[in-house]
A and B are shown apart, each in its own frame.
Chain A
Amino acid sequence: MNILNKLRRTGVAALAIASLAGVTGTAKAQTVSVPLIESGSSLLYPLFNDWVAAYSADHPGADITTTSTGSGAGIAQAIKGLINIGASDAYVSDSLKAQNPSVLSIPLAISSQAVNYNLPGVKNLNLSGPILAGIYEGKITKWNDPAIAAANPSVTLPGHVIIPIHRLDGSGDTFIFTQYLAASDAGWASTLKYGTSVSWPAISGEIGAKGNSGMLSAAAANPYSVAYIGISYADKVASSGLGTAALLNKAGNYVLPTQDTITAAAESVADSTPADERISMIFTDAPNAYPIVNYEYAVVNSSQPASAIAEAVRAFLSWAITEGNAPSFMTKVHFLPLPATVVALSQAQIAKIQ
């Protein structure tokens, strides 16, 4: 009951909403075992594992299998009906949504991403979307480029060649990173656009790395490199001596990814979130908002094969966005809980699962 105690202490308003909707009651009533399959995002996978362990402990009969396959697979398999819950770092795209109107994108938590650098002797560094776009396009090749120097007037920058590191596997991290570049740099928006894989321009010396752990070890092994790494890896990034860059937001401020700046980004769009909750939190206009923030999604088909399955999915998901958003789950992976207005929207979407 550790979780409940913590919840009571933090006084999460969401719990009240959940009990208003009467979901907690139905969850306890579920005694018949209905097997559910969750699959998708490798970033969400550790959280789902914690969730399922805690959920199964006080919900006898819950039988949920979790697998880590990747966001794209999570979306594709949820659409094909091979799995019940697809985990994804990105919401279902407009064209896929148009083809499959019954597929819901339900936010579960808030994640973000850091831009890390390996620059011996440099402790603080400011970077912006146009600078990063220039680096990854091969237009800015040295650390003492005038554009980087202008953003960092008080820093002595080395005249060394920059080693840009990108993900070689399809990744939600590439999706939100390139979304930031596309939102803040017109050139990037018109040529490379955004996606879980993009056609990285040919730069000699650049590195493609596999997974966030591959990004981390490539950045640590290569001085003068720059990489984008999911916030879940913040502790490991800090202990390997990499720096975290302050990024230029839409309001013109350089901000670091902290709880305040990430929450600021989430709250700036909370009220304008549409009913289907497919919204970008990249490069929002709040003055202290960190520019690379995103919802982690559950991709679920609203018409499930049987009503018992639908009920089990509803019960688990509404537990996940209420009790599952407790700090005991979130701090370990550096995620943040959903704002109360978004929890209400998610509950409305969960109620549609039949």
Chain B
Amino acid sequence: MKIRPFRLSVFALSLLIPTALCAVVLFLVIYSGQAIMFNGLHFLTDVNWNLGDMYDDPVTVHGVSVPGGAEYGILVFIVGTLVSSGLAILIAVPLSIGAAIFLSEAVPGKIRPVLSMLVELIAVVPSVVFGLWGIAVLVPFIGHHLSPTGNGYGLLASSIVLALMITPIIASTLLDALLQVPKENRESAFALGATHFEVVSKAMMPMVRATLVGGIVLALGRALGETMAVLMVSGGGINILPTSLFSPISTIASFVAGQLDSAEADPTNMSVRALSEVALVLFLITLAVNASAKLLASGALNVRKRQS
């Protein structure tokens, strides 16, 4: 048999990425195994999170050694993550569709690269900068003008900061797609007497629907996993479900970042295992979001094929 060094090395390299992914998942599952056994399904449905008393002797519950009073329920953080990311998408999608259409249709070709580069630049601003802006500008504004309690930290602030971070992701993917729509489609729509609005909404948008969904998924992935900016403006809600736009929340990622240091002082190590179970849940959520979006996108693709 002939040995093909190039093919072999490329094959090995291509295996590296799925292997790394599987290794991470495997690690999370094994490391959090004890916590999964200890928590059961209450983990997902309880609102109370308590690391317990780490400065007293650990107690034994169901044969597992944990700090006294420890209970791990993450419903608050699941709700916080989904609601803040969902709201961020609701704010960001109209904004980015508007921005992309403006850039592809209304801006002269010479200025377009400059403006679209500016939009892409926002996407690479480090999240901590958004967090600082949130603390310095957004939170006081919400507190003084919108919030009935005077408190600006919470769901609304987190969603707006997230929306700003993800708008350029959606806008720039959509812009690229709009610019690739064949000239013939646009021009024949115009020739049929369509208004500019009809050209964009009827002839161009249907062609880029799959890309739009893809961009939204990419953005949602970033929003679900965003840690630092949310940590700075979320108000860190714990043990309480959000009841309004101004309620403090915690997202899964920001909560893990906030609690990890305390968890490391746990002599039984159960706290770190529970946090790794939290991370596993976040991983599963993003996986589910991505998978369902893939399905949606392929559905949208089929519709387009039938039309053409």
Q: Do A and B bind each other?
A: yes
In the assembled complex, the Cα of A203 lies from the Cα of B240 at a distance in Å of 8
Q: How many chain B residues touch the partner (CB < 8 A)?
A: 44
> Smallest distance from the beta carbon of B20 to chain A beta carbons, Å?
23
In the assembled complex, the Cα of A194 lies from the Cα of B56 at a distance in Å of 10
In the assembled complex, the Cα of A301 lies from the Cα of B206 at a distance in Å of 65
- Given A96-B265, A168-B258, A204-B247: A163 in contact with B151 (beta carbons within 8 A): yes
B151, A214: Cβ atoms under 8 Å?
Answer: no
- Given A95-B54, A170-B260, A196-B262: A208 in contact with B237 (beta carbons within 8 A): yes
Contacts of A76 in B (CB 8 A): 264-265
In the assembled complex, the Cα of A197 lies from the Cα of B239 at a distance in Å of 13
- Given A204-B247, A207-B235, A221-B140: A196 in contact with B151 (beta carbons within 8 A): no
B262, A195: Cβ atoms under 8 Å?
Answer: yes
Contacts of B49 in A (CB 8 A): 199
A170, B247: Cβ atoms under 8 Å?
Answer: no
A214, B135: Cβ atoms under 8 Å?
Answer: yes
A214, B261: Cβ atoms under 8 Å?
Answer: no
Task: Check B51 for interface membership: any CB of A closer than 8 A.
Answer: yes
Interface residues of A in 55-91 (CB under 8 A from B): 69-73, 75-76, 90
Of the candidates A99, A161, A193, the one having the most CB atoms from chain B within 10 angstroms of its own CB is A193
A72, B263: Cβ atoms under 8 Å?
Answer: yes
In the assembled complex, the Cα of A218 lies from the Cα of B150 at a distance in Å of 11
Task: Check B259 for interface membership: any CB of A closer than 8 A.
Answer: yes
B57, A95: Cβ atoms under 8 Å?
Answer: yes
A210, B264: Cβ atoms under 8 Å?
Answer: no
In the assembled complex, the Cα of A193 lies from the Cα of B50 at a distance in Å of 11
Interface residues of B in 229-283 (CB under 8 A from A): 231-232, 234-240, 243, 247-248, 250, 257-265, 267
Partner of A201, one of B135, B149, B239, B259: B239
B50, A199: Cβ atoms under 8 Å?
Answer: yes
Mask of B141-183 contacts with A, CB within 8 angstroms, 1/0: 0010000011111000000000000000000000000000000
A72, B236: Cβ atoms under 8 Å?
Answer: no
Contacts of B57 in A (CB 8 A): 94-95
B149, A205: Cβ atoms under 8 Å?
Answer: yes
- Given A163-B151, A195-B55: A72 in contact with B139 (beta carbons within 8 A): no
> Smallest distance from the beta carbon of B85 to chain A beta carbons, Å?
19
B236, A75: Cβ atoms under 8 Å?
Answer: no
Task: Check A223 for interface membership: any CB of B closer than 8 A.
Answer: yes
> Smallest distance from the beta carbon of B151 to chain A beta carbons, Å?
6
Contacts of B150 in A (CB 8 A): 163, 222-224
> Smallest distance from the beta carbon of B226 to chain A beta carbons, Å?
14
In the assembled complex, the Cα of A218 lies from the Cα of B140 at a distance in Å of 9
A208, B236: Cβ atoms under 8 Å?
Answer: yes
A170, B240: Cβ atoms under 8 Å?
Answer: no
> Smallest distance from the beta carbon of B260 to chain A beta carbons, Å?
7
Interface residues of A in 111-154 (CB under 8 A from B): none
A207, B151: Cβ atoms under 8 Å?
Answer: yes
Contacts of B86 in A (CB 8 A): none
A206, B55: Cβ atoms under 8 Å?
Answer: no
In the assembled complex, the Cα of A96 lies from the Cα of B263 at a distance in Å of 13
In the assembled complex, the Cα of A194 lies from the Cα of B139 at a distance in Å of 30
Contacts of B259 in A (CB 8 A): 169-170, 197
A197, B262: Cβ atoms under 8 Å?
Answer: yes
Partner of A208, one of B139, B152, B243, B248: B248
Interface of B is mostly: loop
A93, B261: Cβ atoms under 8 Å?
Answer: no
- Given A201-B239, A205-B151: A194 in contact with B261 (beta carbons within 8 A): no
In the assembled complex, the Cα of A189 lies from the Cα of B80 at a distance in Å of 30
B264, A73: Cβ atoms under 8 Å?
Answer: yes
Partner of A197, one of B51, B140, B237: B51
A222, B143: Cβ atoms under 8 Å?
Answer: yes
> Smallest distance from the beta carbon of B186 to chain A beta carbons, Å?
49
A210, B140: Cβ atoms under 8 Å?
Answer: no
A196, B261: Cβ atoms under 8 Å?
Answer: yes
Residue of B nearest to A203 (CB): B240
B152, A221: Cβ atoms under 8 Å?
Answer: yes
Of the candidates A76, A203, A210, the one having the most CB atoms from chain B within 10 angstroms of its own CB is A210
Task: Check B58 for interface membership: any CB of A closer than 8 A.
Answer: yes
A72, B261: Cβ atoms under 8 Å?
Answer: yes
Partner of B231, one of A168, A217, A221: A168
Of the candidates B51, B143, B236, B265, the one having the most CB atoms from chain A within 10 angstroms of its own CB is B265
Task: Check A37 for interface membership: any CB of B closer than 8 A.
Answer: no
In the assembled complex, the Cα of A207 lies from the Cα of B247 at a distance in Å of 9
B261, A71: Cβ atoms under 8 Å?
Answer: yes
> Smallest distance from the beta carbon of B50 to chain A beta carbons, Å?
3
Mask of B278-304 contacts with A, CB within 8 angstroms, 1/0: 000000000000000000000000000
B236, A210: Cβ atoms under 8 Å?
Answer: yes
Contacts of A210 in B (CB 8 A): 231-232, 236, 258
Partner of A96, one of B48, B140, B267: B267
| Between-chain CB contacts (< 8 Å), 11 pairs | A71-B261, A95-B55, A170-B260, A196-B261, A200-B238, A201-B239, A202-B239, A207-B151, A208-B238, A217-B136, A218-B153
Given contacts A94-B55, A169-B261, 18 further A-B contacts (CB under 8 A): A72-B261, A76-B264, A95-B57, A96-B265, A96-B267, A168-B258, A169-B257, A170-B261, A193-B53, A196-B261, A197-B263, A202-B239, A204-B240, A204-B243, A207-B236, A207-B248, A210-B231, A222-B152
Question: 5 shortest A-B CB distances, which residue pairs?
Answer: A208-B236, A168-B236, A170-B262, A199-B50, A70-B261
